Amino acid sequence: MKKIGVLAFHGDVVEHIEVTKKAAKNLRLDIEVIPVRTKNSLRNLNALIIPGGESTTLHKLCQRENMWEDMKRIKNIFGTCAGTIMLAKTIHHKTLDQETLELMDIEIDRNAYGRQTESFEKNIKTSLGRMHAVFIRAPKIKKAGKDVKILARSEREIIACEQKTGDNYYLATCFHPELTSTMFHEYFIKKIYQI
Ligand code: GLN
């Protein structure tokens, strides 16, 4: 049985766990979904989901728990919002000592839409299908390298993308798919199972 971890310091942890379970059920797959707060619980994971929240805080807490290097070694990672910031090679407007996992060849601008009050919702079209998307103090993906496949744009901005690097697979969204749909989670699970 495959095991998916959800980084569980803050953000939409419960929502991601529930949606991942629902997505697995829709695909008739038996998957264990666990909250991850320690280096130990990263062991034997087939995949990790990094929820939205605050990327600076997530970075600090992962460092405190000495999880950083082990996270980089996880084969399949799905980042949403702050999770996408964590995956990016380059961030604009980062705090002084903020680091990212530098796993995806994307350049991202934190809080690019403005403050919390500038958060918004809209219907979007993605390569996976149409859905309603919630953007909460969302980042903008400013640039994507040639190995990054774009899965959705809103206006001209890239809002969802993926990258396969050897055996590793990364999926990233600027919005919060866990709030409105199982579509991205099903897609991620299919990638893990290579179906
Ligand atoms: N802009 C936030 C950050 O810098 C992310 C917001 C979110 O995850 N909803 O981490």
Residue in 111, 116, 142, 176 to alter for ligand 1 test, most ligand atoms within 8 A of Cβ: 111
2-193 belongs to CATH 3.30.1330.30: no
Buried b / exposed e along 95-108 (16+ C-beta atoms within 10 A): eeebbbbebbbbbb
176 flagged as catalytic: yes
Domain ranges for the chain: 2-193
Q: Does 154 carry a binding-site annotation?
A: no
pLDDT for the residue 22: 98
Q: Are 80 and 52 in contact (CB under 8 A)?
A: yes
pLDDT for the residue 151: 98
C-alpha distances in Å from residue 184, one per residue of 16, 56, 65, 168: 11, 24, 28, 17
Q: Which residues of the chain have pLDDT under 50?
A: none
pLDDT for the residue 111: 87
What is the spatial distance between Cα 179 and Cα 1, in angstroms, rounded to a whole number? 26
Give the pairing of strands 148-154 and 168-173: unpaired
Convert the pLDDT of each residue in 70-105 to its tens digit. Answer: 999 999 999 999 999 999 999 999 998 999 999 999
What is the spatial distance between Cα 3 and Cα 55, in angstroms, rounded to a whole number? 24
The Å distance, Cα 30 to ligand 1 centre, comes to: 31
3-state DSSP assignment of residue 189? helix
pLDDT for the residue 114: 85
Residue in 16, 55, 91, 121 to alter for ligand 1 test, most ligand atoms within 8 A of Cβ: 55
What is the spatial distance between Cα 16 and Cα 2, in angstroms, rounded to a whole number? 16
pTM: 0.97
